[in-house]
Amino acid sequence: MNHSLLLIMGLLPLFLAAVLLTGRWLKQRSQARRQAAILQQWAQQLQLLGQDCEQCYRQSVSLQQSYSPGYGAGFTGSPLLDNGRQLLAGIHPAGWLQQYAPLLSLPGAPYVISALTRLLYQLQQREQAIRDLISKDWDDYTTQRKLFFSNIQDLIHLYDELREFVKGKNLNQDAVEWVRAFLQLFDQWLRNGAGKEMEQLQQEIVEKIITLNKTQPGNPFSSRTNEKALRCQFAAATINRLDNTLLQYWQSYNQSWKTAARLSRKLAAAGSPVAPGMAASGTWTAVTATAGKSRSGQRALLPIDRWTPGLVSQQQHRKGWGRWAIAGGCLALLLAGALYLHNHRDQVITARPLPATIRQPAADTTAGKRGTTVQPKQDSLLLKFEPLTRIHGLDISKYQGELLSGLHGQHQLSFVICKATEGSTYIDPEFHHNWKRLPAMGLVRGAYHFYRSTDAPEVQALHFLQVIGRLNATDMPPVLDIEDGSLHHTVSADSLQERLLRFLQLVERETGCRPILYTSRYFANTYLQLPVFARYPLWVADYSSRLRPRIPEAWARQGAHFWQKEDSLHIGSVITDFDLFNGDGAAFVRFLRQRGH
């Protein structure tokens, strides 16, 4: 009996370890296969998209080459623009984020999807710019063209009349010289073939008449002909401007189709993993690096400074070998233990009996990432919120002073979000005092960082994380505040979005929590247009008496998690912001336990 018990106790931990490692390996292998299948589906979709973009590009270039400047009065571009619009209408980048969500964990994947969706939105904008130009200005194009040739016709009639008029007539010296020069320029035009192209008429008739009237003013014919020549000149300039604008828009439109086709093909080629068990992150990174440089070596689409092609896949490869080594070591220990018990059977049986009381191992409180903590099964702070039907809160900074001292439970608050940092160096002087005090008041606490466009996003993120320290299981995910006051210089939407993503991804990687993004509807619709931002919970500022907040376009499907409904809530003599959570107490608890995911 003792021998069997000792044998079981010796083998059981090793057996459980082997089962655990095997189960984990099988789960990871299953996830890798699923990811590979999704990557293959992604590659097929991108391949079809690349073919369609290539076809639209060739059609657009062909139509552009057939366009003749000065003859655009009847041009609509409808067949090409309608084909392009139909293709773009069938693409839903927001749906990609749901369909290919498992790929977003791959290094570079958010930037790849952002670059592709940015191109597609760019195509929509440039296609709409061409349509707007044609719909708004092309009536004027037709009018100016008619005006040009009408005045040219009047000048030709005057030429015919003067030829008959001067026969046998005695004119004064000034008139004779002007008429002779006027007739000569038309005679020259006739000898050159009487070309009816607008550019030729402009050079051979209009410009020469204007010059003639400048050198010989004051005769009866100069004012009449000068007015018509100037009308022709204005009409030609208007038509030339519209032609150049259309061709410029068109060239940009063509380039966007070409770039979209090239990027789609590259991503499609990188979307098939070598083997089901190998992560394709190295492929993603390599493609990102390739797509990020143009032929001239200048930055084209994607920020690649932080990426090393293939590095991640090598790390995962080494990590895979490490797992195999651990599993092999456990199996070796298992066999060695069994062999030892078998060979030293007698010694084991006669060994000193185990003590009656065995100390239980301490609970594991290690965390895999900065700021994460093992979630307790029961938490009294969170459990008290579950029965609530509404969740209210405040956000405060140094400007509210000792606001917390005025809270005595009468406001029925559930959370308070404190300003922690701003930019790369500033720390709110009230933050640490408020941060330490909130748990004792039975309130969920949160911390936000006010973003500055002039500071590097990585420096700001690390400054924020260093100040807030480790997050408890009952703390809200970190919050990024981006609004009009964040912009201290002229910045493009593309640049701002790319830098914000770097901040958000660094915070998410370091804390294991998906950060909350605070902004207004107007600011988000102006600067935060990429669908990738919808991954992050939205805290929207919308001060109104509405029952629901107005949601920015990027979050139209997901909606907002938090609503800053008022900016003038009075607590005693202090004015602060008033916030609502979109859900009841149970939903609030789930949100906190899911760490913003």
CATH code for the domain in which residue 440 is found: 3.20.20.80
Q: Quote the domain boundaries for residue 424.
A: 380-593
Q: Beta-carbon neighbour count of residue 494 at 10 Å?
A: 16
Phi first, then psi: give them for residue 271, nearest 5 degrees.
-85, -5
Element holding 418 (H helix, E strand): strand 415-422
205 occurs within a structural domain: no
Tokens representing 262 are 């090239």
373 occurs within a structural domain: no
Tokens representing 412 are 């029925």
349 occurs within a structural domain: no
Per-residue model confidence as pLDDT tens digits over 493-505: 899 999 999 999 9
Task: Spell out, as residue ranges, where the chain has pLDDT lower than 70.
Answer: 1-11, 35, 73-114, 166-174, 270-379, 400-411, 567-577, 596-597
Tokens representing 452 are 């500055």
393 occurs within a structural domain: yes
Structure confidence at residue 453 (pLDDT): 92
3-state SS, residue 362: coil
Structure confidence at residue 310 (pLDDT): 33
What is the maximum alpha-carbon separation in the chain?
A: 148
Structure confidence at residue 589 (pLDDT): 92
Structure confidence at residue 6 (pLDDT): 60
In the chain, the number of structural domains is 1
403 occurs within a structural domain: yes
Asked if residue 505 lies in contact with residue 104, where contact means CB atoms within 8 angstroms, the answer is: no
3-state SS, residue 435: helix
Active site residue 483: yes
Tokens representing 519 are 């902004």
Q: Which of 301, 299, 228 is nearest to 264 (CA)?
A: 301
Which pTM was predicted?
0.42
- Choosing from 54, 458, 483, 566, the catalytic residue is 483
Phi first, then psi: give them for residue 361, nearest 5 degrees.
-65, 145
Structure confidence at residue 371 (pLDDT): 44
Phi first, then psi: give them for residue 261, nearest 5 degrees.
-65, -45
Structure confidence at residue 327 (pLDDT): 58
Asked if residue 397 lies in contact with residue 432, where contact means CB atoms within 8 angstroms, the answer is: no
3-state SS, residue 271: coil
Asked if residue 466 lies in contact with residue 449, where contact means CB atoms within 8 angstroms, the answer is: no
414 occurs within a structural domain: yes
Structure confidence at residue 239 (pLDDT): 87
How far apart CA 149 and CA 196 sit, in angstroms, is 9
**259-to-52, 222, 290, 300, 430 alpha-carbon distances in Å:** 12, 54, 13, 10, 50
How far apart CA 386 and CA 384 sit, in angstroms, is 6
Tokens representing 410 are 């009468």
Asked if residue 9 lies in contact with residue 77, where contact means CB atoms within 8 angstroms, the answer is: no
**Long-range pairs of 25-34 with CB within 8 A, sequence gap ≥ 24:** 25/323, 25/327, 29/276, 29/277, 31/102, 32/276, 32/277, 32/278, 32/279, 33/276, 33/277, 34/102
Q: Beta-carbon neighbour count of residue 211 at 10 Å?
A: 13
233 occurs within a structural domain: no
Q: Beta-carbon neighbour count of residue 98 at 10 Å?
A: 12
Tokens representing 171 are 């004119």
Q: Beta-carbon neighbour count of residue 486 at 10 Å?
A: 21
